[in-house]
Amino acid sequence: MTTAEAQTHGHHPGPGTTAPRGLAAVVAAIGIMVVAANLRPGVVSVAPLIGDITADEGFSSAVAGLLTTLPVLFFGLSAPVAPRLAARFGIERTIFGALVVLVGGIALRLVPSAIPLFVGSAIIGAAIGVCNVVLPALIKRDFAHRSGLMTGFYSMTLSGGAAVTSGATVPIANALGGDWRLALASWGLLAVVGIVVWLPQVRRMHRMTAPASAESLLRNRIAWAITIFMGAQSLIFYTFTAWLPQYLVDEYGMTSLHAGAVLATAQVVSLTMSLVTPIIAGRFADQRVVTLIVTAVCAVGFIGLVATDVWPGFWAACVMSGPGAAISLSLLFMVLRSRDAAQTSQVSGMAQSIGYLAAAVGPILIGAVHDVSGSWTVAMAVLGLALIPQAIAALQAARNVKISD
């Protein structure tokens, strides 16, 4: 057992709740992974098809951008509601309900009209936002003694789901005769699988203790540090992935295909870091050194990308290693710094609400910086400044302390 995990080994899930053991623990872990695999395809599948969608629906670039940003916005808007749902209905039932809503949102986009397309995207974002918040609480409650390992698998599956979706959506659309609505809807099949795999967990349906007032966390330095750290990494990830291909085309003269390959490679690095980092960090009671190292690597990537005209793929991989590691660390901090599953859910809701709202506006703000300055170098340099509050927040969030009201 690792140092950090040993500290939570004595955690009691709560009245009437028994953490799964043996085969039940394996089934629960598989269930978490399958649910995690569903938390990005409904969102990421739009980007590869945005050209076809824009052409068919007659959208402007701004409206098309809203379509890709809307689910991330609803990640943040739904996050504060998730802890209350988990307290009222139980984590298992809340996740099950969110998966059902996710299938409904994906299916709604089959309707041949622009309004259902946007409404469905918003519903998808809300459903995923709820799962984003309550799954770390479930890991805290049922896998406290293996929090680093489970967080690594969970975040790796998140990243893996996004990477597979990015690569598979266009071939799926081609196989379906170029029907982008059917291609988007095809990811609903994965959500149906998630519902089936999650069914054994619904029998448990343990309610958490109702979380304390959010005002207590709003006055807590550790909760704010986790929130700022989560927000900064979300801002960097979603903004960098949104603009990197265009940056490489404009500044390095790459083709769109080459730029996409660079981004895909960088996402593989991000996925690897999301698995490895929490396993390493979970071996220590204090994660500040690990956290600052990955932040520094990300900073080096930004510097290399804007200050040189060589090795863009290497610098992009360095940048993406940062949020890849940081999303796992954010989730790990939520688990390790909280006292129990109810508090994990509460701090998760606070951090992810603010974090994803920041992520939703990031691409717009950096795009505006580019428009005003006429330079992608300036825009990327400004984005890199988000590492400063992230590093400062890490000094508090990664300390071996507990959130106290």
**144, 342 Cβ separation under 8 angstroms:** no
Per-residue tokens: 6: 């040993």
- The answer to the question of residue 403 being in a domain is no
Please calculate the CA angle 238-240-241 and round it to the nearest 5 degrees.
Answer: 65
Give the DSSP per-residue string, 371-388: HHHS-HHHHHHHHHTTHH
Cα separation, 182 vs 334, in Å, equals: 37
SS3 341: helix
Residue 10 — pLDDT band, cuts 50, 70, 90?
very low
Residue 100 confidence (pLDDT): 97
Between 368 and 293, the higher pLDDT residue: 293
The whole-angstrom separation of Cα 176 and Cα 44 is: 18
Q: Is 107 among the domain residues?
A: yes
- 3-state DSSP percent of the chain in helix, strand and coil, to 5: 80, 0, 20
405 located within any domain? no
Written as six digits, the tokens of 8 are: 């939570």
Please determine, for residue 29, whether its predicted confidence score (pLDDT) is greater than 90.
no
How far is 396 from 79, CA to CA, in rounded Å? 23
Range of the domain at 148: 3-397
Task: Tell me the CATH number at 266.
Answer: 1.20.1250.20
Q: What is the pLDDT of residue 314?
A: 95
Number of domains composing the chain: 1
Residue 291: the pLDDT is: 94
322-374 pLDDT per residue, tens: 999 999 899 889 888 888 777 887 888 888 888 888 888 888 888 888 888 88
Say if 338 falls within a structural domain: yes
- The proportion of the chain whose per-residue pLDDT surpasses 70, expressed as a percent, equals 90
pLDDT tens string 129-154: 999 888 888 887 778 777 777 878 88
- Rounded to the nearest integer, the mean pLDDT of the chain is 84
Residue 10 lies in a domain: yes
Q: If you compute the radius of gyration of the chain from its CA atoms, what whole number of angstroms results?
A: 20
pLDDT on residue 299 = 96
pLDDT tens digits for 180-228?
999 999 999 999 999 999 998 887 656 555 555 555 777 889 999 999 9
User: Over the stretch 255-277, which tens digit does the pLDDT of each residue have?
Assistant: 767 877 788 788 889 889 988 89
In a domain, 127, yes or no: yes
Establish if 369 belongs to a structural domain: yes
Structure tokens at 41: 């395809």
User: Of 121, 152, 172, 111, nearest to 29 (Cα)?
Assistant: 152
Sequence-ordered list of residues with C-beta below 8 angstroms from that of 397, at least 6 positions apart, any chain: 222, 225, 226, 228, 229, 291, 333, 337
Residue 61: Cβ within 10 Å count = 10
Residue 285 to residues 148, 328, 374, 399: CA-CA distances in angstroms?
Answer: 11, 16, 46, 8
Position with higher pLDDT, 311 vs 340: 311
Burial class (CB in 10 A: 0-12, 13-18, 19+), 84: middle
Q: Establish if 404 belongs to a structural domain.
A: no
Across 47-76, average pLDDT: 81
